[in-house]
Chains A and B, each alone.
Chain A
């Protein structure tokens, strides 16, 4: 990818005693789709609002195309935002909502008309010009909000939980549409969500945050397959997180078992957290053929797969398989060395919270 567009340096924001964003550093490139991901109160929205100019950072700098952005008021930044629950202007119709930014800039009426119509066509709302925004469905309002921002041809589009108010099916559709839009207009998207699946589906880069601190920056694959700590592992997808000990390079032990793995570089006998994704646990019918023996205690059909809880004598495992094993059956479980992810033990709490207030 090309050159750096936005740089955050030691960015910090405090509210009274609480540090919402704690000295974060982040570089965002042109045309990148970056997602800030984390539970409620992790500082992702505050970070976005500082970039948008709605909050003043207490410390640190924001650079935009190499220039300091801190003291530039929101209305002078070449950045546009899609707000939570859209914040459409309810006293204006669809056309006027989209035209707002252009009218502010005193663009000629012909030009406004051309650009608004083109934008409405792009978001599939041609013919809705005169409609009252209140009369639109959630998905349509969402598109108006996007059109209203994109019509100004910003260099960066900030999206604050833009799909949070939509139902699941619509959300999936909009995810794809948003991606298409981002590709076609070729601008940087900075996207805030607490939905890890959304983050993994859409982003070039995922920034996982918790308690105002960046936990990990990486591609969706990196984040999912190589979580850097227990928090990330727990937050991204479902997983079995097990406390264990790294005996030596490529050898990890827990529950009295010693397993091969692909991780190295830990101290001898260093306590670690081990992540095993539910879909990475294979089940064999003959319990003696498995590394771990267990009894199936619960089976739930999830559509694509069955989700089973299998209890060994030491702990419960969450397992996802396309083949079902009935409750009560005793089975064996195997894990490939490459599917065992070993992480440094941190004191990061692993609560997984829901939704932004």
Chain B
């Protein structure tokens, strides 16, 4: 009796959600399918021209770039991150927390600042090149450029990969591994046949948690790519802040959303454990 009634206390938030979550997205959808002066509602008319614009080669390339770079950085994060997660998970409890904390602490420094610090490290006259020079080695010139953007993505999103994998690995019952060994599996077989399959949920949420922010970033590419390798995020930012082409920006946003929804649907096919909480937290 009292129960159903208490659902009503959620109503104010439902209204809030409608105004600040649903309406803005509908507006974006609306602008993506119209053209004309955005400040004059009467002037707007239905059009798919901004979607057609997305299909122009120059923009398709940007979108392609975003997905390729985000994909590569996700893969690198997985390759680097999985062993890290495994090493942390296998450390004894006392040191494990210390390791985990050491791993998470950098997140607490503003990520723009950390990215900025990479600029000073990587720039042509930056610290790394000075070091190389001092050692008599050739300079590296990756910034501004794709490599630097990749590095920035891996740097910023690596913890998103490690954490979920670590969480899953640390929950695997040690007896399962012992049982596998007991049944004659050597450590490689045990890993491939037992540990890896059991950690799939962690891998899946790790991939989602890295790929999502990587594909939509505009800060990393702006700072480390020096505008040479614009990503879909940069494009959206430009449309809303400098070129003021909301229609095009909206179409790009819708396309980004759809592509992300599709990749998430694919991922959740592979496993059903939403990364929800962890993602933004870190």
- Establish whether A and B are touching in the complex (CB under 8 Å): yes
Instruction: Write the residues of chain A forming the contact surface with B, with a CB cutoff of 8 angstroms.
Output: 54-56
CB-CB < 8 A to A55: which residues of B?
1
Least Cβ distance of B189 to chain A in Å? 40
A50 CB to closest chain B CB (Å) equals: 10
- How many B residues have CB within 8 A of the partner chain? 1
- Tell me the interface secondary structure of chain B in the complex: loop
Complex alpha-carbon distance, A94 and B106, angstroms: 43
Give the shortest distance, in Å, between A87 (CB) and chain B (any CB): 15
Nearest chain A CB to B45 CB, angstrom units: 48
The minimal Cβ–Cβ distance linking A99 to chain B, given in whole angstroms, is 24
Specify the chain B residue showing the minimal Cβ separation from A49. B1
List B residues 157-211 near A (Cβ within 8 Å): none
List, in ascending order, chain A residues with CB within 8 A of B1's CB: 54-56
3 residue pairs from A and B, CB less than 8 Å apart: A54-B1, A55-B1, A56-B1
Using a CB–CB cutoff of 8 Å, the interface residues on chain B facing chain A are 1
Q: Determine the main DSSP class of A at the interface with B.
A: loop
Chain B residues lying within 8 Å of A54, measured Cβ to Cβ, are 1
Looking at the assembled complex, report how far the CB atom of A11 sits from the nearest CB atom of chain B, in whole angstroms. 15
- Measured CA separation A54–B1 after assembly (Å): 7
- Distance between A278 CB and nearest chain B CB, rounded to angstroms: 41
Return the chain B residue nearest A73 by Cβ: B2
CB distance from A57 to the nearest CB of B (A): 10
CB distance from B2 to the nearest CB of A (A): 8
User: How distant is B113 from chain A, measured CB to nearest CB, in Å?
Assistant: 40
Min C-beta distance of A186 to chain B, whole Å: 31
A55 and B4 CA atoms in complex are apart in Å by 11
Smallest CB gap from A74: residue in B: B2
User: Closest residue to B3 on the A side, CB-wise?
Assistant: A54
Task: State the Cβ distance, A26 to closest chain B Cβ, in Å.
Answer: 21
Report B277 CB to chain A, min CB distance, Å.
Answer: 22
Return the chain B residue nearest A56 by Cβ.
Answer: B1
Docked CA distance A55–B2 (Å): 8
**A259 to B1 Cα, complex, angstroms:** 54
CA distance A56 to B1 in the complex (A): 6
Question: CA separation between A56 and B3, bound complex, in Å?
Answer: 11
Please give the distance in Å from A13's CB to the nearest CB on chain B: 11
Closest Cβ of chain A to B150, distance in Å, is 48
Q: How far is the CB of A244 from chain B (nearest CB, A)?
A: 48
Bound CA span A135–B21, Å: 43
Please measure, in the bound complex, the distance between the C-alpha atom of A55 and the C-alpha atom of B1, giving whole angstroms.
6
Q: How far is the CA of A54 from the CA of B3 in the complex (A)?
A: 9
